[in-house]
Structure 1
C-alpha cells in the first residue's frame, strides 16, 4: 500500500483512480501499474475544455517618450516692471490665460502676451469700471498716472516736435508732398474739372 501511495505521489495521480482500477492486495505487477498510468493520461488527453499556457515576452516593449523627460520652461511672467520704459511692440507680460488684461496703449496677442502699442512707461493698475480686472497700460510721460478719467479723451501722441533750428524750420515749411512734386494733385484737379464740364445739367421742373 505504501509503495502505491509513493508512486501516486510521484506521478501526481489520485489514489482513488489507482484503487478503482487495481487490486492493492499483494504486490503490484509492473505491467498493471503502467496500464493504470496510461489509462489515466489517456483520459486526460480526451477532447474537452483544457487549460492553455501562453508564454509572454520577457522584454519590455518600446514606447514613446512622452513622460520620460521634462519640457523646457516657457519663460512666462513679468518682463517689464512698474515704471520701466518701453518701446512700441516690446513685451511687457507673458501669461497663459488672461490673468492680466491690456489697458491704455497696450494690446494682447494670440498667446495672451501683453505688449506696448506706444512708447512710454509701464503701469500696473485697476479700473473702477472693471473692478475684477488687473490691467497693464503704458503712460506717455513719467509722471502720468493710469487710469485716466473715464469721461476724458485719451492722451495721444501725434509724433510732432517743435523745430528749434530756423534753417530746418524753413525747410520743413517749404516741403511739399510727393503728389505735389510730381503734379498728381494738379492732374486730379484737371480730371475733376473735365468730368464736371461733361456732366449735363439736371432738367428743371416745368412751371
Structure 2
C-alpha cells in the first residue's frame, strides 16, 4: 500500500534561475577593456594574451582589440585579444 498520497500540481512548480553562461563576444568582434568575453564554470576556455580570468572563471578583456579563439586541447580553447594597433616605438626627435 502507498504511504504517500499521489499529489500533482500543488507540489510541483519549482525551477532554478538560469545561469546565463557561455560565450558573450565571439571571434573577430571588437571589444573594449573590461568587456566580458566568456562566462563559465571552470576553465573550459583558458585565458590567453591580453585577457584576465575572474574569480568565478569569467574571462574579460584587458585592452581594446579583436577577440580570437584557438584550440588548446580536444575539449578546451584559448581566447586572446589582438590589439587594435601594435605598440610602436617612440620616435626620437633631434
- Give the TM-score of the pair, scaled to structure 1: 0.34
Cα distance in structure 2, aligned partners of 1:156 and 1:100: 27
Gaps of 5+ in 2: 1-10
Cα distance in structure 2, aligned partners of 1:72 and 1:121: 32
Q: Partner residue of 1:120?
A: 65
Where 2:20 maps in the other structure, the secondary structure is: coil
Between the two proteins, the alignment pairs up a number of residues equal to 79
Cα distance in structure 2, aligned partners of 1:100 and 1:137: 10
Deviations along 1:74-93, one digit per CA (max 9) or x if unpaired, are 10001001111100011000
Gaps of 5+ in 1: 1-64, 143-154, 161-207
Considering only aligned residues, what root-mean-square deviation do their CA atoms show, in Å?
2.9
State which of 34, 49, 63 in structure 2 corresponds to 1:89: 34
Shift of the alpha carbon at 1:134?
Answer: 1.4
Q: 1:112 to 1:156 in 2, by over 3 A?
A: farther
Q: Relative contact order, CA 8 A, sep 6+: which one is greater? A: 2
Q: 1:157 to 1:101 in 2, by over 3 A?
A: farther
Q: 1:110 to 1:125 in 2, by over 3 A?
A: same
Shift of the alpha carbon at 1:141?
Answer: 3.2
Cα distance in structure 2, aligned partners of 1:85 and 1:111: 23
- Structure number with larger C-alpha Rg: 1
Deviations along 1:44-72, one digit per CA (max 9) or x if unpaired, are xxxxxxxxxxxxxxxxxxxxx9x961111
Q: Would you say the 8 A contact 2:64–2:84 is kept in 1?
A: no
Alignment of 1:102 onto 2:47: yes
Cα distance in structure 2, aligned partners of 1:137 and 1:88: 13
Q: Which runs of 4+ in 1 moved over 6 A?
A: none
Greater helix share, structure number: 1
Where 1:112 maps in the other structure, the secondary structure is: coil
Q: Partner residue of 2:83?
A: 140
Cα distance in structure 1, aligned partners of 2:80 and 2:26: 12
